[in-house]
Amino acid sequence: MGRVTAREKVLRVRDGVVSERVDTLVVEEPLEVRLNGEPLSVTMRTPGHDFDLAAGFLVSEGVVARAADIAAIRYCAGATEDGVNTYNVLDVAVAPGVAVPKASLERNFYTTSSCGLCGKASLDAVRTTSRWTVADDPVRIDGRTFTVMPDRLRAAQRVFERTGGLHAAGLFDARGELLAVREDVGRHNAVDKLVGWAVRENRLPLRGGTLMVSGRASFELAQKAVMAGIPVLAAVSAPSSLAVDLAADAGLTLVGFLRGASMNVYAGRHRVVLEQDTAASPSATAAG
């Protein structure tokens, strides 16, 4: 297996004082994912939980949705001349009857904002390929529960503590309990690793769950939540306009700038229970 961190000498300058030290860096290496032996995708990732990463990516692609859809995942022979396995190539064999993308890789499932297609085409693609709907998920979460998620996620980031250079994705239940966490140099990879863990454990759809991410909420992360059946996406930073459009269209609750006791709710307001809602309820009024 590949290393997660590496040690490098650096020149450190602090308030005019120059010194040399050894710094811990997060490792970034390519991972090629093959599907039934055919190349499908290459992503730059932090080694670790590679099987989860591949499985989660295939959930986002609409290829698999349960553990039984995956027949096997294995590392292929590496790229070195002497045949040493680099652990940077994975082959996923799907079960008989599972449809696979064309070898040409002309994906017609969905697109990220970097692919140049219009927003409406992206939204329509996710709507037509998602196996579950999140709009009817009845979960409601106390606003105070959201405020504990960032600290709990940060506390679980073991590699981040050593490097300061990793994104994280955590799955929380409605009570704010952290069920699983994954880290990666790429925020989309961290989410794929988390979703991949869930599909391999036969937990999809993740009804009642909240996906918490350590960075911003892009369209790509919103669609990954929808494809995994997650009704709530929360981020410590800002969402993109297309992520908000997708959340509103799909019935996803989208929370941004979740820091301390502050947050912005961009979509799915009905799932966020605030103190003022309780105070204004009929039962509370009658009791007064």
Q: Is 115 a catalytic residue?
A: yes
Residues in the chain: 288
CA angle 110, 167, 135 (to 5 degrees): 45
From 105, 115, 121, 284, active-site residue = 115
- List Cβ neighbours of 17 (8 Å cut-off, separation of 6 or more): none
The DSSP code sequence of 192-222 is: HHHHHHHHHTT--S-TT-EEEESS-B-HHHH
Q: What backbone phi and psi angles, to 5 degrees, belong to 33? A: -105, 125
Degrees, nearest 5: CA angle 90-182-43: 35
**Structure-token match 């009804």, residue found:** 207
Provide the residue type at 22 as one letter. Answer: V
The β-bridge relationship of strands 272-273 and 253-259 is: unpaired
Q: Is 216 exposed, middle or buried (0-12, 13-18, 19+ CB in 10 A)?
A: middle
DSSP string, 141-203: EEHHHHHHHHHHHHHT-HHHHHHS--EEEEEE-TT--EEEEEEESSHHHHHHHHHHHHHHTT-
Strands 38-45 and 70-75: unpaired
Query: How does DSSP assign 234-250, residue by residue?
Result: EESSPBPHHHHHHHHHH
Q: Which residues does the annotation mark as catalytic?
A: 115
